[in-house]
Structures are given as structure tokens and as C-alpha cells.
């Protein structure tokens, strides 16, 4: 025979079903509110909150209002409306953040480009200034060289003019020929320079220094009196004396050569005293200036 349920068992069963009925009756949030929650969570945790915090905050206020409306009346239309506004504000905040990020990147790129352009412009300006400075220095140097050359030519002319008072100066194909009388330079049959010879040779030194780099040949000549060998030795010794004077007074030694020709190249008749005096001479040959390359 079946036992009848007690009153307490019946009451307990009713309570369980009542709880299940209450649970089944809970209202789920509308899709708009779920979407708003997800959108806010995304912007709140990402870069948007760092870039555009003001609009993220506005989205939070709208979401809070939607949550409050849902809690007050889950089925009210206002919940959907407020959730929609919160969703759109979140999406708007995200879009604005993207625009702000892009603008920042563009600005930074423009600044970087501006710096690069400025740096390139400064480098070009510096190069131009350096080139102009170099040109100015070159022009200044050229002017100084022209002035120095003009002054040197003036000194050379003055020296040759002074030299012409005691020597013969003429131009030939082999260069400038300066002829000094042996009697002005040396005592008879001697190769030591006389004191009076030095003034004339000083003018030669001045002229040579004013036209540097030219080859100089000092030639000694005698008359035909006496033995040929002695005359050759005497002419060589006299040429060496003049060369030594020139070198001692600043003419480069490798620029000056000396040679004695004795009586072999007379310029006058050795049969007369005047002719022999003219043949006793020293010739200084200054080579022409080299052709410009």
C-alpha cells in the first residue's frame, strides 16, 4: 500500500518549483547593452583611453545610465536607447582616437621632414659659404700674387736699370745677357772680386730674386794674351767667384752654373788694347721664363 506524502514534503516540492520558476523568469540584457558593454571594455583597456580619454569618459557615463535604466526596469525602452547612445559614443571615441593618432603621426612626420629639410638646407648653405670663402681667399691670394709680381718686376727693372750703368744688358734668344767688364770685377790676372764689383753684382742678385726659378749661367772670358790653358783656368776661376757671390747672397746653388771659356769666344779684335779689354769679361746669362703650362 502506497505511503501518502507528508505535508512538509509537499511544501518543499512547491518551493523548489517556485525557485525554478523565478530563475527562468530572469530578464537577459538587450543586445544593444551587451554591445555597449563590449565596446566600452575594448576602448577602456586599449590605446583609445590613452589617446582620447575625454570621450571614453563620456561613453562610460552613458553606459552607466543604460545600466541604471536596465536595473530599474529591464524591459523599458529607455535601456535600449541609452545603451545605443553608449555604444555609439564608444565607437565615436574609437574613431576619433584613430584620427588623432593619424594626425599625430603626420605631424611628427612633417616635423621630422622639416628637420631633415632644414638640416639639408643648412648643409648646403655651409657648403656655399665655404665655397664663397674659398673664392674670396683665392681672389685675395691672386691679388696679392699680382701685387707681389708687380713689385718684383719693378725691383727687377730698377736693378737692371742700375746695372745698365756699369754693364751691358741685352736680350737674345738664349735669354737676358748681362756683360760685366773684367776690369770692373777683377784685378789683372786675378779671380778675387774687387770691392767695387759687389755693387754691380748686388743688382744682379736683386734682378734674379725678382724672377725666381730661371736657370743662370756665369761665363768667364779672357783675351788671347798668354797661354790658352792659363786663360781657361783663369776664366773658370772668375766664373766660379761670381757664382759663389750669387749663391752666398740667396740664389739657389742648383740654379747657377759656372763655366770658363777662356779666349774662345771673343767679341772684339784681340790685336788692339781696347779689343782685348772688351774680351776680358764675365757674362751672366739668365734663361727666359718657362712657357706656362
**The pLDDT of residue 90 is above 50:** yes
From its phi and psi, is residue 257 left (phi > 0), alpha (psi between -120 and 50) or beta?
Answer: beta
Percent of the chain with pLDDT strictly greater than 70: 88
Measured CA angle at 152 (ends 150, 153), to 5 deg: 65
Work out whether the CA dihedral 151, 208, 174, 274 comes out positive or negative: positive
Which residues 6+ apart lie within 8 Å of 124 measured at CB? none
Spatial CA neighbour of 29 closest among 84, 75, 90: 75
Smallest CA-to-CA distance from 241 within 207, 197, 188 is with 197
DSSP run (H or E) holding 180? strand 175-181
Mean pLDDT, residues 167-189 = 90
Q: What is the DSSP string of 193-248?
A: BPTTHHHHHHHHHHHHHHSTT--EEEEEE--S-S-HHHHHHHHHHHHHHHHHHHHH
Q: With contact defined as beta carbons under 8 Å apart, do 236 and 216 qualify?
A: no
Residue 220 has pLDDT above 80, yes or no: yes
Asked if 233 and 222 touch (Cβ cutoff 8 Å), the reply is: no
Minimum mean pLDDT range among 138-142, 157-161, 269-273, 280-284 = 157-161
What is the rounded average pLDDT for all residues in the chain? 85
Cα 206 → chain centroid: 42
Lowest mean pLDDT among 45-54, 130-139, 258-267: 130-139
| pLDDT of 232 over the 90 cut | yes
Contact 126, 181 (CB under 8 A): no
Task: Give the highest mean pLDDT range of 3-12, 19-28, 127-136.
Answer: 127-136
> Helical H runs in 164-196?
182-185
- Predicted local confidence at residue 273, as pLDDT: 92
Which stretches of the chain are DSSP H helices?
Answer: 7-24, 31-45, 48-51, 53-72, 77-163, 182-185, 197-210, 228-248, 273-279
| Predicted model pTM | 0.50
pLDDT at 53: 93
- The SS3 of residue 29 is coil
Burial 255-281 (b: 16+ CB within 10 A, else e): ebebebbbbeebeeeeeeeeebebbbb
Amino acid at each position: 500500500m502506497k505511503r501518502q506524502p507528508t505535508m512538509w514534503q509537499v511544501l518543499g516540492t512547491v518551493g523548489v518549483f517556485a525557485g525554478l520558476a523565478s530563475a527562468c523568469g530572469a530578464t537577459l540584457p538587450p543586445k544593444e547593452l551587451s554591445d555597449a558593454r563590449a565596446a566600452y571594455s575594448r576602448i577602456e583597456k586599449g590605446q583609445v583611453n590613452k589617446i582620447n580619454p575625454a570621450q571614453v569618459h563620456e561613453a562610460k557615463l552613458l553606459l552607466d545610465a543604460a545600466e541604471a535604466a536596465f536595473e530599474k526596469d529591464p524591459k523599458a525602452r529607455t535601456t535600449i536607447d541609452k545603451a545605443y547612445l553608449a555604444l555609439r559614443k564608444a565607437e565615436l571615441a574609437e574613431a576619433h582616437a584613430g584620427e588623432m593618432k593619424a594626425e599625430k603621426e603626420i605631424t611628427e612626420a612633417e616635423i621630422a621632414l622639416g628637420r631633415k629639410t632644414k638640416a639639408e638646407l643648412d648643409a648646403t648653405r655651409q657648403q656655399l659659404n665655404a665655397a664663397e670663402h674659398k673664392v674670396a681667399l683665392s681672389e685675395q691670394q691672386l691679388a696679392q700674387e699680382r701685387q707681389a709680381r708687380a713689385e718684383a718686376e719693378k725691383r727687377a727693372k730698377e736693378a737692371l736699370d742700375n746695372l745698365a750703368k756699369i754693364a751691358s744688358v741685352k736680350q737674345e734668344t738664349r735669354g737676358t745677357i748681362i756683360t760685366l767688364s773684367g776690369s770692373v770685377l777683377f784685378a789683372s790676372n786675378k779671380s778675387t772680386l774687387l770691392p767695387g764689383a759687389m755693387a754691380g753684382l748686388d743688382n744682379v742678385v736683386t734682378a734674379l730674386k725678382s724672377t725666381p726659378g730661371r736657370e743662370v749661367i756665369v761665363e768667364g772670358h779672357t783675351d788671347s794674351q798668354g797661354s790658352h790653358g792659363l786663360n781657361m783656368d783663369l776664366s773658370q776661376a772668375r766664373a766660379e767667384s761670381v757664382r759663389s757671390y750669387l749663391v752666398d747672397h740667396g740664389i739657389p746653388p742648383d740654379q747657377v752654373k759656372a763655366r770658363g771659356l777662356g779666349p774662345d769666344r771673343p767679341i772684339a779684335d784681340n790685336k788692339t788694347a781696347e779689343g782685348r779689354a772688351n774680351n776680358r769679361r764675365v757674362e751672366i746669362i739668365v734663361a727666359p721664363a718657362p712657357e706656362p703650362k
